[in-house]
Amino acid sequence: MSENFAFLLPVVLTLFGVAFLIVGRFGNRSAVFWGAGYLCAALGFLAPLLEIIVSVPVVAMMADAAFLAAFLLYSHGLVTHFEAQRLLGARLTIAAVAYAGTTYAVLIAGSLRYELFINDIACSLLMLVATLSSWRRRRNWVDRALLGAVIFVMLETSVRTIVFFVMAGTLAMGEFIGSSYAYIMQITSTIGALVLALTALSSVALRIVERHRKAAEEDPLTGLLNRRGFDQFIRERGHATGREAAIIVADIDWFKSVNDHYGHSTGDDVIREVAALLRTLSWPEAAVARFGGEEFVAYLPNCRLQDAHTLANTVRLALSERDFRSIGIDRAITASFGVAVTAAGDHSIHDAISRADRLLYLAKSSGRNRVVSNAAEVSTASVPKLFVVKDDGEAASRR
């Protein structure tokens, strides 16, 4: 049975290593380190097979190197996954000192107890450093499960090693493979490998899904939501709950002339600047999206029309006063805004967006660089009263 485990564990580790490497092809760097670590661990458990052609001390040194490399890669996969401080120097130092210690234990002292104790405790320390660095970076229950699995592996390795160190007595290096300790190590290591691999694969897969979802719902130029991301936000946290909200639609004035005169690259810089200003809208749970080209939409839950109007005008004034000479533009850049609120008869948030869009075009036709909002009750007014902020910031009524 012990011999069966001796072959089973490397097979399990190899399968997980290959699985991680396949996942890593989808752009997750941490999966590559996990995969390489599992393959190194598999080599470590296969090393005793070389005893028929090389001496026991050489096999021991090869196995120790493989296990230290495996845990160094595990720890690197962990800090990479959590985008935590890598502390690579500290981890390399632990691995180097441990290998020097095991070299002494094997080649000079000839002590199996000290060899295993030094090597296994060093492996646990490598994971401990990575865990402490990553602890504050956990984001969800899968991340917490991964760190819990890492802690389980550290405890299993440390406790098993300490028990062996106390109880091993004078067990010789050549007697290790057939010992009861080797059998127990294979069982507990298999359990630890399974727990760690499954939680790490789950956490890595979730990050890949989140990254692809983010790419699908985020505008790559500005980092704002795109139209799809905006609709998803509304479904999950916004108007689907029936809350009243205000909508601000903004459009950069004379943007085509910016592209024609200064180039599309500069035009992209302008779009990013406007997006950065809209991102500063100080309203709880606000969502800002780029709907395409130079048009932006902001969703402000539980916001009155007058408050939304004031916020839009604050952004308008900030943009008109912004100095764009740093990106090669020697004139003012302005934008026009339409502001509307949701109404009881709306079928979706897009009804309010359509009203705000019509008010935006009224702002454009009224001279640009202004905010136009519907100051009447949207659901009942047959002839809405419009509230316009002119270029100089003065308010005026229009019918």
Cβ count within 10 A of residue 394: 8
Task: Report the alpha-carbon distance of residue 140 to residue 36 in Å, rounded.
Answer: 25
∠212-215-216 over CA atoms, to 5°? 90
Tokens of 95: 């691995």
Please report, to the nearest 10 degrees, the dihedral formed by the alpha carbons of residues 312, 314, 316, 319 taken in order: -140
Q: What letter would DSSP give residue 179? A: S
Q: What are phi and psi of 26, to 5 degrees?
A: -90, 15
- Spell out the SS3 assignment of 117-141: HHHHHHHHHHHHHHHHHHHHHCCCH
Distance between CA atoms of residues 271 and 221, nearest Å: 8
Q: Which residues does the annotation mark as catalytic?
A: 294
Q: Supply 280's token pair.
A: 């500063």
Q: Which residues contact 74 (CB under 8 A, 6 or more apart)?
A: 33, 34, 37, 126, 127, 130, 196
Q: Is 128 exposed, middle or buried (0-12, 13-18, 19+ CB in 10 A)?
A: middle
CA 386 to chain centre: 44
**DSSP character string of 13-74:** HHHHHHHHHHHHTTT-HHHHHHHHHHHHHHHHHHGGGGGGTS-HHHHHHHHHHHHHHHHHHH
